[in-house]
Amino acid sequence: MQPDSLWFIFLSAFLINNFVLAYFLGLCPFLGVSGKMDTAWNMGLATTFVMFVSSLCAYGINLLLVEYHMEFLRLISYIAVIAAAVQLVEMTVKKLSPTLFRALGIFLPLITTNCAILGVALFQTTRDYNFFQSLVFSIGAGAGFTLALMLMAGLRTRMDLADVPSISRGAAMSFMIAGLLSLTFMGFAGLGAH
């Protein structure tokens, strides 16, 4: 598989260099929303959609910035685009499914500060991905984020009922579990290599 083939880019973002477990991006929602399986799934879906839209816009904006030699505005414009994309998703979710909107609560606007989304935009720029590579990259990143969230949710639902020392309840245990998950994902290295 060629290193810059679309399939490899997707696989890399999804499994090999999973955004949460390998790059440490998107940790706040990862720890905050992974309590229940369906909230995790919905959050993952919403985040993937925002990533996709932001990636598109970031690609377009970057072309403009490079054209007019205004690269120093890159960070500010990316953030603005992400905030706008989140607003868009918020309005869509509110209209399509008010129950989902209430379930996600405060976490929806918090997607703006999800470093994973800015991470997608920044990585695709530094790695010089073309249009299709960027799209596939963002979908892979979103899918990987959702996968990590779902796995975490499943594990935490189990652990909630288990008999663990009181000092480890909450954040400490989540981190330990995440560490083991991350260790497991290291096994994906070399997937698809020739």
Residues of the shown chain interacting with another protein in the complex, contacts defined by CB under 8 A = 3, 17, 21-28, 31, 72-73, 75-76, 79-80, 83, 112-115, 118-119, 122-123, 126, 166-168, 170-176, 178-180, 182-183, 186, 189-190, 193
CB of 141 to another protein, least distance (A): 13
CB of 147 to another protein, least distance (A): 15
CB of 37 to another protein, least distance (A): 21
CB of 98 to another protein, least distance (A): 19
- Tell me whether residue 70 or residue 97 sits nearer to another protein (CB atom): 70
DSSP character for 13?
I
Show the tokens assigned to 141: 């990143």
Cβ neighbours of residue 45 closer than 8 Å, sequence gap 6 or more: 146
Question: What percentage of the chain's residues is helix, strand, coil (to nearest 5)?
Answer: 75, 0, 25
- Tell me whether residue 8 or residue 52 sits nearer to another protein (CB atom): 8
Closest CA to 101 of 91, 116, 111, 113: 91
CB of 58 to another protein, least distance (A): 12
- Tell me whether residue 112 or residue 157 sits nearer to another protein (CB atom): 112
Cβ neighbours of residue 82 closer than 8 Å, sequence gap 6 or more: 50, 54, 112, 117, 118, 121
CA gap 19, 192 in Å, rounded: 18
- Tell me whether residue 162 or residue 167 sits nearer to another protein (CB atom): 167
Angle at 29 between CA 24 and CA 34, to 5 degrees: 105
- Tell me whether residue 120 or residue 143 sits nearer to another protein (CB atom): 120
Amino acid at 125: T
